[in-house]
Amino acid sequence: MTEATPQQDAVTNAYRAVPAEPFHGADGQAVRPCTPAAVTHRHLRMLDLRPGANVLEIGTGSGYSAALIDHIVGPQGQVTTVDIDPKLTERAEELYAEHGYRVRAVTADGLRGYPSQAPYDRILVGTTPPAIPDAWLQQLKSGGSLISGARIADLPGAYAIAHVTVDEHHLPQQVVVHHGGYTPMVAPRPTTSVSRAVDPGRHEFELTLLGADQTRTAAALLTSLRDRPHTIQGLVSSDDYFHFKNWLIAAGPRGLLEAVHDEGVGIGVGMRTADGSAHAAIATDELVIADAPDSPALERLRSLTGQWLDEGALRTHELGAKLSCDEATWHASVTRR
């Protein structure tokens, strides 16, 4: 078993020392955390926080995460938490003053970071922006790092966690993507890179196909899943599902799609055969849903699953990852190594 580093032990010690009740309320409902405690714990460990560090948190929430960070960085460190909601920052500021935490709570647009206290050693973003603003990278010290929710494709459920370290020019030096995700900062913007179909009788039943100008094909694939559903046990375990999903996004097979179905939300492939018929198959975290037992899309999905297993059943963090710059924002993507 790998031993925890002193910095990782510091996170565990912070959880023991900093009570959650003042921030979440006695019943846990005062400001309900959007992120499970285990996820926050893991991300704080990934940040490798050190005593004396200057840290920016974007997304104040209950205020608890910043209090944990304050405990770790100590009196020589500095913690600033930013949120666009003044009710959250004002509440957090009162709690910090009452309980003796040195956190600065600021009402501001987190997409701009907080330049007046930069440069930062670490930035923790507890939400998912439409793309990672260059302002965040510019506000990091050389060798500094940030953790943020990130979109890794234009499919609706293509969320992950990006861990980015910058060089002396504030450019991405190392990018690692982990499975998981934070609540989006804003509703996803419409994009022309996908084609979407919605069942007019059941608006929660929809399909998004990667690729522009394929609305009729997307509608036909949706109909194939709705009218002739064939369901079997999942091809991968529920624990492996999100890693397989992200590998599939990295592989980018022709006809990659995501569908919301009565049986769940899944990712898969669709195709039209020579006779013009539409076929689709999706994998959820428990099941595989296809248009028919002998569906060519189901066979393709089985083949892709076998390919993922043959390549070592890569975890999300084992995929290649990069950031690409576009007009002062950075877009995350994953690739097969």
CA 65 vs CA 42, 68, 136, 174: distances in Å: 12, 5, 19, 25
pLDDT tier, 328 (very low <50, low <70, confident <90, very high otherwise)? very high
**pLDDT of residue 7 exceeding 70:** no
Task: Report, as an integer, the average pLDDT of 76-105.
Answer: 97
**231: left (phi > 0), else alpha (psi -120 to 50), else beta?**
beta
**Residue for token digits 């998004």?**
208
Q: Average per-residue pLDDT in the chain?
A: 92
**42: left (phi > 0), else alpha (psi -120 to 50), else beta?**
alpha
**Residue for token digits 């369901």?**
231
Q: pLDDT tens digits for 144-190?
A: 999 999 999 999 999 999 999 999 999 999 999 999 989 888 766 66
Q: What angle do CA 69, 72, 75 make, to 5 degrees?
A: 100
All domains of the chain in start order, with CATH: 6-178 (3.40.50.150), 194-310 (no CATH)
Query: pTM score, two decimals?
Result: 0.91
Q: Is 119 helix (H, G, I), strand (E, B) or coil?
A: coil
* Pair 259, 198: CB distance under 8 Å: no
pLDDT tier, 27 (very low <50, low <70, confident <90, very high otherwise)? very low
Residue type, 324: S
Q: pLDDT tens digits for 261-318?
A: 887 899 999 999 999 999 999 999 999 999 999 999 999 999 999 999 999 999 999 9
